[in-house]
Amino acid sequence: MELPVKEEISVEDEAVDESIFKDCSKIAFYRRQKQQLSKKSTYQALLDSVTTGKDSTRFRIINEATKVPLLAEVFGIEGNIFRLKINEETPLKPRYEVPDVLTSKPNTVRLISCSGDAGSLVLADGKGDLKCHITANPFQVDLVSEEEVVISINSLGQLYFEHLQIPLTQRATREKEDVSVNTSQENQEDLGLWEEKFRKFVDVKVNGPASIGLDFSLYGFEHLYGIPQHAESHQLKNTGDGDAYRLYNLDVYGYKIHNKMGIYGSVPYLLAHKLGRTFGIFWLNSSETLVEINTEPAGKDTGTQMGPVAAKQKARSRTDVRWMSESGIIDVFLLTGPTPSDIFKQYSSLTGTQAMPPLFSLGYHQCRWNYEDEQDVKAVDAGFDKHDIPYDVMWLDIEHTEGKRYFTWDKKRFPNPKRMQALLQNKKRKLVVISDPHIKIDPDYSVYTKAEEQGFFVKNHEGGDFEGVCWPGLSSYLDFTNPKVREWYSGLFAFSVYQGSTDILYIWNDMNEPSVFRGPEQTMPKNAIHHGNWEHRELHNIYGFYQQKATAEGLIQRSQGKERPFVLTRSFFAGSQNYGAVWTGDNKADWSYLKISIPMLLTLSITGISFCGADVGGFVGNPGAELLVRWYQAGAYQPFFRGHASIKTERREPWLFGEPHTRLIREAIRERYALLPYWYSLFYRAHVASEPIMRPLWVEFPDELETFGVEDEYMLGSALLVHPVTEPKATLVDVFLPGSSEVWYDSKTFASWEGACIVKIPVGLDTIPVFQRGGSIVPAKMTVGKSTGWMVDAPYRLRVALSNKGSAVGELYLDDGHSFQYLHQKQFLHRKFCFCSGVLSNSCADERGHYPSECVVEQIFVLGLKQQPSSVTTHSPDGKDQPVAFTYCAKTSTLSLEKLSLNIGTDWEVHIK
């Protein structure tokens, strides 16, 4: 991988041919598992070996052919979670167990052995609503609820466990090998036991093959979701042979859509939903992982072994999910729901909730690779003001540095970065710069020399620093799995260390899969060595997670723990939600990528990562004016809202496409800013109550079958339904409005519809189909400023949309928007709005919070008020009643109250008679 010093690295080094990535047929552990399982070797649980400890129940499992024992542990965890761990009883050396993802040691619940015959064991969690049936021969685990099996483990006999072996070179005499290991040369090469060849690369495995696998059968479930990141539909599809979903973080520039290949991030967590129950499977493993899915319709006899309880399952449909990982142990959490919101809480109790973002980060972000220099930044910033378009954050890509050396500035282009930041700060705006994990090998670059002296880089398998090619040329890669490296890296963000940085500068972690140009599959070799002597293969998918964690901690430390960080990462894992935002990577300026962004973001959202978005306009290529307008309209209603473009593309700042396009983009961005009180309140709910922000319809309407496959529209919180226009030249869209007892209001015209129907909505280029759900109250700002910082004192508007019963509820969360004082000093306001029997009230939703606010509610719309009132009065706690002037529109059944002055933070009522 040696590289002449003078060689230029360009976008072509990243924009590689798809053929450099593996499909399933090229993955040796997949081939081995498929081959072995066709031979049906079975495992048996030795139930006479059961021991019950404080936290878990343990027993041995033995493979009938090899007689090598495994150790199984079953845990009950608070909140209706079961955990199953399977490891070698006496491994040659420890096998990797993923650290740092679980936010704390889960609180266990003692499982009580309650019955079972000689060949089985039944464990219950004390409440008795869920029982865990363990069958000895063949080994099987069933989770049973009210006499019905919800899920079976190993009912298809696909438990697979390759044992670590003594390296071939150390064997004096060849011991009896694992039956799955045939030592003929040809077979070894085909199965990649000790060496795996792909293109010109050879992956040497010191301890031989170490893969694991297990099957799960979900009864009555046909709809599965999750396991991001794939450019695929929200509902997971059946996988044919050789077509598994791959979880392996890779830098895939301009990735193909409708494809199951792994891209930038991996969350090995899957949700299944049916009428009456939602269920989750969290497979805690950070090595390369493949997931196969097969749904059998009801009544089909699959000819598999049937336990007594399973016999009655035949009448129900069944989905089989098979997880396969290259190494590590089996460590799986079964989240038993039963509702979607229970599942979200269960998952976040393990991996944490979405970090509370600073308010500015919910505004619009302007990025490209690259803004050329300080003058360019100044001109683009002025362009937003000239065209009256709000924005909050200017972004600088790799060209802002001195020769791609992170934590530096190009002295010609950015001679005075503090002056540039002062210009932005005066307008209450921020700056984000990029910081990648590869460090240029250069003895005159202090970040490199200090890391090299302390041994902070990932090592190659010979023990020297791993060297690979990325943007700076030959580079070494920081070993973020090492806590000392993370601590040191966090320190690099201190203002005294990062010259030219100020407190308005925030960070973007890119290329952290990690991307290694000309490496195997554009990444690091699997036998590179990390802290603790672990091979890269064990922890590949968690590398980017650790960089974002270290970066977020660095931004917190530089403010002495006072200020919330903002960090965007491209690569991620389960738990990345604790540290910031994620985006969908290098998408294309094409309608199909606008369309696929919706299911991709829905999948991230339900797997814990609420702060997510897609590059508006598409990163690769040049969008036409219509596509760009539609993408801004979609992005304005997605959590992370950033325009971005690649280095070879034409400039596309929002005002460059002429009228009416500039006006339409301005309107979309201004709609985003007006709704920020609602957005910020949703982020608070995500942070404290694990509720996704962007929600598939099935999450809000879990008992309506018609919602289970919908992915072209979604709920924003529980109040707004958004149906972005994703087709060119569209004049009409079919919008599905769910819920037979619901009423829906067009958020612009206030026209209303009963739920459970498809409505044909005419769409001009100025139309964003957004509907407010009856029964909700949405807070918004009356005026929009140049950035979020200018809107702190702007008055509020409340849009009260009445349900069929004439009632509505909503909430508002408010704090200083940037510090941790909401957490440590309880400096926040959480208000509840309620409309019932003609009275709208504002009351305190959380007595613990206190935050002074001068803001007032100035305008109230009540939608769905069936008759004109005779009087409207406001009541405040001091007893003064004030009559209010109002207008009523009979055509839309809308009451408008203007020129109010009701303080947002005090209790009051509005009486409508």
Q: What is the 3-state secondary structure (H, E, C) of 305-368?
A: CCCCCHHHHHHCCEEEEEEEECCCCEEEEEECCCCHHHHHHHHHHHHCCCCCCCHHHHCEEECC
Tokens of 464: 């020297």
> What does the pLDDT read at residue 188?
62
> What does the pLDDT read at residue 298?
85
Residues 834 and 840 sit within 8 Å (Cβ to Cβ)? yes
- CA separation for the pair 34, 192 (Å, rounded): 13
- CA separation for the pair 637, 618 (Å, rounded): 16
Q: Is 243 a catalytic site residue?
A: no
Q: Cα 910 vs. chain centroid, distance in angstroms? A: 40
> What does the pLDDT read at residue 181?
46
> What does the pLDDT read at residue 2?
41
Residues 886 and 895 sit within 8 Å (Cβ to Cβ)? yes
3-state secondary structure 626-649: HHHHHHHHHHCCCCCEEECCCCCC
- CA separation for the pair 265, 361 (Å, rounded): 21
Q: What is the pTM of this model?
A: 0.96
- CA separation for the pair 837, 847 (Å, rounded): 25
- CA separation for the pair 131, 144 (Å, rounded): 5
- CA separation for the pair 647, 368 (Å, rounded): 7
> What one-letter code names the amino acid at 227?
I
Cα–Cα distances (Å) from 525 to 18, 52, 203, 205, 229, in that order, read 18, 42, 7, 11, 21
- CA separation for the pair 244, 231 (Å, rounded): 14
Q: Of residues 55, 410, 586, 615, which has the active-site annotation?
A: 586
- CA separation for the pair 664, 576 (Å, rounded): 34
- CA separation for the pair 586, 588 (Å, rounded): 7
- A 10 A CB-CB count for 521 gives 23
Q: Is 510 a catalytic site residue?
A: yes
- CA separation for the pair 593, 635 (Å, rounded): 13
Kindly report the CA angle at 412 between 409 and 416, in degrees rounded to 5? 60
* Residues in CB range of 382: below 8 A, 6 or more apart: none
Phi, psi of 606, deg, nearest 5: -80, -10
Q: Is 147 a catalytic site residue?
A: no
Q: Of residues 14, 410, 467, 513, which has the active-site annotation?
A: 513
- Under DSSP, the state recorded for 625 is H
- CA separation for the pair 565, 507 (Å, rounded): 9
> What does the pLDDT read at residue 242?
85
Tokens of 773: 């759900």
- State the DSSP H helix or E strand holding residue 487, giving kind and residue range, or none if neither: helix 483-491
Which of 705, 807, 693 lies closest to 756 in space, CA to CA? 705
Q: Scan for tokens 């539909």, then name that residue.
A: 233
Cα–Cα distances (Å) from 216 to 123, 131, 322, 332, 423, in that order, read 19, 16, 6, 11, 57
Which of 683, 355, 688, 671 lies closest to 506 in space, CA to CA? 355
- CA separation for the pair 327, 97 (Å, rounded): 10
> What does the pLDDT read at residue 178?
46
Q: Quick one: 286 exposed, middle or buried, by C-beta within 10 A (0-12, 13-18, 19+)?
A: buried
* β-bridge partners, 26: none
> What one-letter code names the amino acid at 464?
G
- Under DSSP, the state recorded for 786 is S
Mean pLDDT of each 10-residue bin along the chain, 913 residues long: 59 90 96 84 91 94 92 97 97 97 95 84 86 96 94 96 89 50 57 95 95 98 98 96 94 97 98 98 98 88 53 78 98 97 98 98 98 98 98 98 98 98 98 98 98 98 97 98 98 98 98 98 98 98 98 98 98 98 98 98 98 98 98 98 97 98 98 98 98 98 98 98 98 98 97 97 97 98 98 98 98 98 98 98 98 97 97 90 96 97 97 97
* β-bridge partners, 277: 274
Beta strand residue intervals within 116-183, DSSP E: 120-124, 130-135, 140-145, 148-153, 160-161
Which of 883, 875, 882, 881 lies closest to 907 in space, CA to CA? 875
Which of 328, 326, 43 lies closest to 179 in space, CA to CA? 43
- A 10 A CB-CB count for 403 gives 14
- CA separation for the pair 721, 758 (Å, rounded): 13
Tokens of 1: 């991988």
> What one-letter code names the amino acid at 466?
F
> What does the pLDDT read at residue 184?
54
> What does the pLDDT read at residue 848?
98
DSSP 407-449: T---TTT-S-HHHHHHHHHHTT-EEEEE--SEEE--TT-HHHH
Kindly report the CA angle at 136 between 134 and 141, in degrees rounded to 5? 30
DSSP 854-907: --EEEEEEEET--S--S-EEEE-TT--EEE--EEEETTTTEEEE-S--EETTS-
- CA separation for the pair 480, 485 (Å, rounded): 6
Phi, psi of 180, deg, nearest 5: -75, -5
* Residues in CB range of 413: below 8 A, 6 or more apart: 372, 373, 374, 399, 400
- Under DSSP, the state recorded for 78 is T
Which of 474, 476, 488, 569 lies closest to 528 in space, CA to CA? 476
Q: Both ends of the chain: CA-CA distance in Å?
A: 79
> What does the pLDDT read at residue 1?
40
* Length reported for the chain: 913
Residues 674 and 690 sit within 8 Å (Cβ to Cβ)? no
- CA separation for the pair 644, 585 (Å, rounded): 10
- CA separation for the pair 904, 831 (Å, rounded): 8
> What does the pLDDT read at residue 306?
55
> What one-letter code names the amino acid at 781?
K
- A 10 A CB-CB count for 287 gives 26
- CA separation for the pair 744, 109 (Å, rounded): 44
Sign of CA dihedral 8, 10, 14, 15: negative
